[in-house]
Amino acid sequence: MIEYREEMWQAEQKPGQKQDHRKQQGSLYPRPYTGGNSPSGLQPNNRHSYLDSHRPFSLKQSLLRTSKPGKEDFYSFLQKMKNDMNAGLEREDDSYFELNGKALIGDPQAVSFFMNGIEKYLRKTPFTGKLPEAYRTAAEALFHEWKGFGPAYRWFTDRAYSESTGLQMIGKQIFYNHRGKFVPYPYEMPSLDRVEQLKRSLLKSDPNKKLNKDNPSVEFKMDDPLWPGRFIRLAIWVSPRVWDGFTTISLRRQVVEFLDLEDQAGTECIPAEAIELIRALAGTFRNTIIAGAVGSGKTTFANTIVGEQLLGSTSCMGVVMIEKHPESILPYQIKGHRIIPIQAANEELMEVGVESLRHDPNILYMTEMRYNEWEFYLWSGEKGYDGITGTFHTVDSEDIPYQGAFAVSTRIGGSLKGHLISALKSCELVFILESVPDGKKRLARISEVFYEEGSNSVFANDLMRWEDEKSAWSYNDKLTTGLMTKMKKKNPQATRLLLHELGHLAAMKPMEGPLKESLKSRIVLNE
């Protein structure tokens, strides 16, 4: 049978008719045609004359002549298509609902399954109306309004958004992170009902998650279509956590691979002069908190510190990485070490953490510390473990022990003063990260946290600090005797290098007023 080439057949459609009959095999989400105005290679002036003089029989043309074009607006057409296709799909495939969830999170086979069905439907019932503004083809629009993220789909599939770290839907409104700041997305959700449909579809992709008035928030993850092997974290809030009509869906993309200290200096997060200092400090394996506000780069920097510890080791190291939701990419980036990534829910964190110590770890890494994680962090430090690293949302080095103690006291009760004393045995170093313009991150402080017996209080002793007035870092080489003793016992060579680098930089760029007291800790300790 003789038939037009695909591009010639497309060229003959009525003006305004949009079709996409490409097969989407191998793509996580369907992508629109991006070629020129004359995909067949024919010049515009002679293309129609060629078609007029060469009209052999075509099955596709025959189908189009005998089928009734869609006359409804887009959403009416979509609803009719859903009704028609759902009946057939449910009869043919018992795993239909499982395919729904997989299509939403970009599973290639599930996407291909539904796209093939949509394309068959369009061949029988072409859509001739106006598409929503966010879409370029009928097949693309129908898939994403039926099974995908609606107009937000480009954030998931378009390389122009590949460096955007976040997307947020609040009711119908959509915002995305552009160079460290949230800005309005070009399109919004078509209706609040569409937002609720998306919420229900997301929940169906993970049957273990519950979201209702008694549990108004939920978190989970999905694979990232733009970055194979990475993931996107999702958090959903519904009423009564937020107002009716303000259902909030927040997505965070992991866009940064492992950065060593040279890479961090290249991004201007740290100065090149401090690379050897920080590397030596990491090599002493002190118990460390990497802190900062949301989006300050603390997880990336925590990966840097733990990664440097592994890369600088001459033997095979054991790492127990405890997470509620996957945060770190170290298991994929650094080979040759025993990195055990553990996922544990809040209620089992302590039990799983204690069990993990039986696997002989050299490093305990807790990628997102909130309340439950602090209990295990303090318990481990009090038992004498070192090499503990965790991240935490705060910006004050001196108050880290108090905040850890308060988290444990709030969760399990007991004496806040007793928990604070435990925290002082567990928290030794604090790195504070901050966001700066143009989406960049900066290491604002490195502090030693210690207890001062004479004043019965807690202090942060800054070893390195960003000075806004000078637009430069300053340094302090006065460490406490207790910390120095632990460092020398753990790694004498790294300690010598640290003192050498710190002394050199402190002489060149001395710090004024390195001590800062924690008033919260003082009040608790002197009750």
Question: DSSP per residue over 394-429, as a string?
Answer: -S-GGGHHHHHHHHHHHHH-S-HHHHHHHHHHH--E
Token digits of residue 474? 């300053």
State the pLDDT at residue 2. Answer: 35
Flag whether pLDDT at 17 surpasses 70.
no
pLDDT (0 to 100) of residue 183: 93
Identify any residues that bridge with 475 across adjacent strands, giving them in sequence order: 464, 510
| pLDDT surpasses 50 at 397 | yes
Residue 305, classified by CB atoms within 10 Å of its CB into exposed (0-12), middle (13-18) or buried (19+), is buried
Q: Is pLDDT above 60 for 221?
A: yes
- Summarised one tens digit per residue, pLDDT across range 25-81 is 334 454 443 444 333 333 444 434 434 444 454 444 444 444 454 456 899 999 999
Q: Is the pLDDT of residue 524 over 70?
A: yes
Q: What is the mean pLDDT of residues 125-133?
A: 90
Residue 179 has a CB neighbour count (10 Å cut-off) of 12
Q: State both tokens at 156.
A: 């998931």
* DSSP-assigned beta bridge partners for residue 253: 232
Would you say 388 and 351 are in contact if contact means Cβ atoms under 8 Å apart?
Answer: no
Tens digit of each residue's pLDDT (9 = 90 or more) over 254-308: 766 789 999 999 999 999 999 999 999 999 999 999 999 988 989 899 999 999 9
- Is the per-residue pLDDT at 355 higher than 70? yes
Residue 327 pLDDT class (50, 70, 90 cuts): low
Cis amide prior to 108 (ω within 30 degrees): no
Predicted local distance difference test score (pLDDT) of residue 92 = 53
* Residue 192 token pair: 């609040």
Which pLDDT score, from 0 to 100, does residue 90 have? 58
Question: Strands 217-223, 248-253: parallel, antiparallel or unpaired by DSSP?
Answer: unpaired
The bridge status of strand 173-178 relative to strand 166-170 is: antiparallel
Please state the pTM of the whole predicted model. Answer: 0.66
What confidence category does residue 473 fall into, taking pLDDT thresholds of 50, 70 and 90? very high
Among 229-238, 325-334, 379-388, the minimum mean pLDDT is found in 325-334
